[in-house]
Chain A
Amino acid sequence: QNSELFTLTYGALVTQLCKDYENDDDVNKQLDKMGYNIGVRLIEDFLARSNVGRCHDFRETADVIAKIGFKMYLGITPSITNWSPGGDEFSLILENNPLVDFVELPDNHSTLIYSNLLCGVLRGALEMVQMAVDVKFVQDTLKGDSVTEIRMKFIRRIEDNLPAGEE
């Protein structure tokens, strides 16, 4: 399975956003927004293909995301670590990230969160199964860290069934 076209397409998307918006912060927001719009749709495909049932707790959710979700769409299985004592926060550790193959961040984009699309996807997908979460990168190999770490925090259950948000 050749993921180069996917990686290059994502790269073209990010660099185009960098040209369109003049600062990294706006690009980060756009990536998150786009990711959200993908996530709210992707969840249906995911649920249909994976046939997982409703998760009983956040730990199950974490497992499903790492072992089934990431595997299905990115071909990688991040590890789950750093659970908070209350069980409402955990980290996904990615040894490698197909989105960033061949990418080297130039010095003038040091605050760019290159893979921020992923945060939006996770946030949007989980919102569709009534979970409000906060997702952010806390380590990034593009910035010199040894691994890429995504921190996921459960905020609350979404009880009112508002129609699917578009951002």
Chain B
Amino acid sequence: MAACIAVIAKENYPLYIRSVPTENELKFHYTVHTSLDVVDEKISAMGKALVDQRELYLGLLYPTEDYKVYGYVTNSKVKFVMVVDSSNTALRDNEIRSMFRKLHNSYTDIMCNPFYNPGDRIHSRAFDTMVNSMMMQVC
């Protein structure tokens, strides 16, 4: 269960960002933005790494007091960033990986929508539904 999920274009602007409504949305935007530096560091460090699932998943980017931030980058340099509550210790690494895989699959479905122009902000009911299912349930 995530607190915030973002999809970032290769030019580093947000295509989609959704966070739990209780928290200050701007704070999440800032967290995601700062995490992009870490993402870029990891990408350049990969160098000639073979492209396979493990390399797409970047793992924990950095922890803050309240949150842990995870990253994933596709071959087309689109990035997914996930902010998870630190207190949620039950969330294991392979669960995070599978959440990213679902995000990636939904993202490819959007790309196949002929009405979607790559680079546009994402407005898709199907994508929203999938992301909602991954967000923290806050009453």
Contact = CB atoms under 8 A, between A and B. Distances in A.
Nearest to B114: A11
Contacts of B124: 104
A8 B112 contact: yes
A10 B113 CA distance: 11
A76 interface: no
B115 A15 contact: yes
Instruction: Summarize B's interface: helix, strand, loop or mixed.
Output: loop
Interface string A1-42: 000100110111011000000000000000000000000000
Contacts of A103: 113-115
Interface in B37-95: none
Contact of B126 (A10, A14, A104): A104
Contacts of B123: 106
B105 to A, nearest CB: 11
A5 to B, nearest CB: 11
A12 B114 contact: yes
A48 B123 CA distance: 45
B109 interface: yes
Contact of B112 (A14, A102, A105, A109): A102
Contacts of B115: 11, 15, 103-106, 109
Contacts of A104: 113, 115-116, 124-126
Report which residue of A12, A15, A103, A104 has the largest number of chain B beta carbons within 10 angstroms of its beta carbon: A104
A11 B116 CA distance: 10
A7 B114 CA distance: 9
A11 B115 CA distance: 8
Interface of A: 4, 7-8, 10-12, 14-15, 101-106, 109
6 contacts: A10-B114, A11-B112, A15-B114, A103-B114, A104-B125, A106-B115
Closest 3 CB pairs of A and B: A11-B114, A102-B112, A15-B114
